[in-house]
Each structure stands twice: as C-alpha cells, then as structure tokens.
Amino acid sequence: MVEGIRVTGVVDAVAEALRAAAIGGELEPDRPVTEAWVAARFAVARPSAKAAIEKLVGEGVLERAAHRSARVRRLDADAVRDVYRTRRRIESAAIRELAATRSRPDAAAEADAEIATHLGGSSVDIVDPDLRFHSAIVDALGSERTSRAYRSLIEEVRQCMAQVQGRGLISVDTILAEHERILELIAAGDAEAAVAVLAEHLGRAEERLAAAVAAP
C-alpha cells in the first residue's frame, strides 16, 4: 500500500512538471514526449514515465496518434475558439443562477484579491488565481456534475490563459476590473449585465489569442 502511494506520488509529480513545461512554453507545441526521455529527464522508471504521459494525454495537454509518441498539443485558432465558447456557455449559465439569488462566490473574490497583488507585474503570475476565479463561479452552484464538466476543460483553459497572459495580450488591470464588475452584478442580481461583461471578457481573450496562434 505504501509502495502504491509512493508510485502515485512520483507519477503526479512528473505529470505536474511536464504540464508546467508544456503550458509555460519550455516544451514547444508538437514536441515529442517519449517514455525514454521522461524517464531520463526525471530519473524515474519507465512505467512511471508512461503513467505520467498517459495522465497528460487524458487531460489534453499531450496528444497521441496511433503508433506515435505523445506530443505537446498545439492549440490552433479553431480549438481556441471552441474552448472559449464552451466556457462561455457553462459560465454564463452559472452566473444567471447565482444572480437569481444574489449569491456572490467568496472563493471568486479571494482569487481576485490574489490577482490584485500582481497589478503592474507579470500577467503570467495570475494564471492560477484567474483560473480559480472562473472555477469558483461554476463550483458555487454546488453541482458535482456541472463542476466535473467544467473541470474536463481545465487544462485546455489553463493552456489558453497561459498563452494569453504569457503573450501580454490583456493587462492584469483589465482582467481584475472585469472580474470585480461580474461579482458586483451577481450581487446586485443583474444576471444579463453580468453575462454581458463575461462575454466581453472572454470574447476579447478568444479573439486576441486566436489571431496570435494563427499568425505565422
């Protein structure tokens, strides 16, 4: 049992390191990620390397064609648009339900407080709290299945956020201001105004990132 826990911890640690490298750009899109390379890079056994790779394939960070090594997934413009539009559908529905009872999610406000500490700094630093803000809105519904559906997008969402913020496409000030406005409108019970701000917020990121990844 202890051995099983240890192995699981190794797999999770390697997967997290690979995920960070892929999302952060250290591992460029389309780069092969082989079991041999992962095992050597992290000094782990081949079965652990394989398990870490399969974990990231399942999350969508890596992709694997039949009889080919796994590769870092490249998000093209169509994928970016689909990720953002799927997010908008789920988050808009969540906002409408929360606004109906004026339920402002405390966890979203806490994420914004962390974002506020990075005003004027590198926007890459807000990837995690930005993701927590949006996840908190969905999780505030208290629906296990809705949260699970949203989590199925999380790694693609994180990859998009990292590219938007890594490329400096939107300022931290703008992101924070729009987050705070969404929460104000939820608390005021103005669902459609909050959804409109969300649509502008996500739509801007979608258009700028789609244009960036489509550029030569």
What homologous superfamily is domain 77-214 in, according to CATH?
A: GntR ligand-binding domain-like (1.20.120.530)
Per CATH, 2-72 and 77-214 having the same topology is answered no
- Of residues 2, 86, 70, the one with CA closest to residue 30: 70
Q: Where are the alpha helices (DSSP H) in the chain?
A: 2-24, 35-42, 46-59, 77-100, 106-116, 127-139, 144-151, 154-166, 172-188, 191-214
Distant-in-sequence, close-in-space partners of 60: CB < 8 Å, separation ≥ 6: 73, 155, 156
Which residues, listed in sequence order, are joined to residue 72 by a DSSP beta bridge? Answer: 62
Q: What are 170's two structure tokens? A: 């939107």
**Domain segments of the chain: what residues?**
2-72, 77-214
- pLDDT tens readout for residues 1-38: 334 435 568 898 998 888 878 766 678 778 889 999 99
CATH number, span 2-72: 1.10.10.10
* Regions of the chain short of the pLDDT cut 70: 1-8, 23-25, 121-123, 166, 216
Could you give the CA distance from residue 104 to residue 97 in angstroms, rounded to a whole number? 11
